[in-house]
Structure 1
Amino acid sequence: MARSSIQTYIKDNTALYVFVGVLFVMGVIFGALMVNALSMEQQQDLSRFVGSFVSSIETGGDTQQRETFFQVFGMHMKWIMLIWLLGISVIGLPLILILDFLKGVMVGFTVGYLVGEMSWKGMLFALVSVAPQNLIIIPALMIASVSGIAFSMYMVRNRIMQKRGALAEPFMSYSALTLGISALLLGISLFEAYVSPVLMRWVTPMLG
């Protein structure tokens, strides 16, 4: 039964996943292109920021790791809760798509800048600092986004058909999925706070 429900869900939402995926990729491309539009002063400011960030990684301790965890988890929760809230509001559908595009821009800009600034060393740094957690975060946000869009569209159809009480079960399923993704992001936040710095400290001597 569960397998059948999953297959039905995927079949019904394939077009949405493709659309959200394409939108995210467009964001990544746009973010990477933004790097070339930076002025010399902006590039210098970013270089100083990256240098300061690398230095903080090398000297970071348990206190900094705890602070990083709360900051990262708080950021992920704000993002996922915003998607959830937009999903239960009919007018929030286009804003969910904008969030997906912006997430792509953030990833594309970060990787594009590191590679443009440090060449293969930047790619290596991106592989340990950006790629691992985003392999989980991006699919999780895409699932949350598609679920939010699907629920928002369902609400529109439900209101047009005037069916009272028909929203309860879809709403509970949507909220349960959001809670599950939140738990996943909790684990990812722990990885970002306690494992990623170790990987980055291993790589930073190679950055020269």
Structure 2
Amino acid sequence: MSRNSIQTYMKEHMPLYIFVSVLFVMGVIFGALMVNALSLEQREDLTRFLGSFVASLGEASELHPKETFVSLFGMHMKWIMLIWLLGISVIGLPIILVLDFLKGVMVGFTVGYLVGELSWKGMLFALVSVAPQNLVIIPTLIIVSVSGISFSLYMVRNRILQRRGALAEPFMSYSVLTLSMAAVLLGTSLFEAYVSPTLMQWVTPMIALTQS
């Protein structure tokens, strides 16, 4: 793709990128606020789960990078393929927006809980366990979401309302972009499975101390 093509693409899709990004940020804020709504019992359950997770990080025998990679990549692929399918279905367009909002909620809740329970140590843990991969995953999902929304809008304008315009080229572009983002998520899954546990092990001692 030439520089002019990229500039044209960004100019045409920038409003969608801004809208989806703002929706995601709203999800992050909502997820962080949800932490305050947790009951004492729910907080205790989450604390026990976090304690067990941190303890497992300290035991090399409990780490299974290959199984973790397969699980993570499978999860990412299900998410991205669902967006792809919703994009070609037209009626799934609103659900794409819901998925982006929910992804923001998940990230916001995770970081909000860690920081709320562990203060700056929770922030440190979030920086090594949540932030690195999500710096890639989030833009990737936003790109696929915008592409899916754009393709749906194209079909509505050119095939349903005006009944003209070829679908083959836009469909291929949409599918190739989705596959490209899947390849990016493949690399991200490898990082999550083989590198993230090591990063988390570096901060595990202080987290374990806090939990004890």
d(CA) in 2 for partners of 1:201, 1:89: 43
Mapping of residues 1-208 of structure 1, within 5 Å: 2-61=2-61, 64-159=64-159, 160-163=161-164, 166-207=166-207, 208=209
Q: Show structure 2 runs of 5+ residues with no match.
A: none
Work out the CA distance in 2 between the residues paired with 1:54 and 1:66. Answer: 19
Q: 1:55 to 1:18 in 2, by over 3 A?
A: same
Q: What is the CA–CA distance in structure 1 between the aligned matches of 2:73 and 2:111, rounded to whole Å?
A: 21
Cα distance in 2 for residues equivalent to 1:136 and 1:109: 19
User: Is this contact kept in 1: 2:56–2:63, CA < 8 A?
Assistant: no
Structure 1 segments (4+ residues) deviating >6 Å: none
Amino acid at match of 2:114: L
What number of residue pairs does the alignment pair up?
Answer: 207
In the TM superposition, what is the alpha-carbon distance from 1:60 to its structure 2 partner? 3.6
Distance (whole Å) between structure 2 residues aligned to residue 61 and residue 133 of structure 1: 24
Give the letter for the 1:191 counterpart.
F
Offset of 1:67 from its aligned partner?
Answer: 1.1
TM-score, length-normalised on structure 2? 0.95
Instruction: Provide the rounded CA distance (Å) in 2 between the counterparts of 1:71 and 1:59.
Output: 20
Q: Deviations over 1:136-161 (max 9, x none)?
A: 00000000000000000001112122
CA distance in structure 2 between the aligned counterparts of 1:10 and 1:40, rounded to whole angstroms: 47
SS, match of residue 195 in structure 2: helix
Q: Deviations over 1:78-126 (max 9, x none)?
A: 0000000000011011000000000000000000000000000000000
Amino acid at match of 1:43: R
* Shift in Å, 1:63: 6.3
Length-normalised TM-score, structure 1: 0.97
In structure 1, how many angstroms separate the alpha carbons of the residues matched to 2:171 and 2:109?
A: 35
- Percent of pairs with identical residues: 75
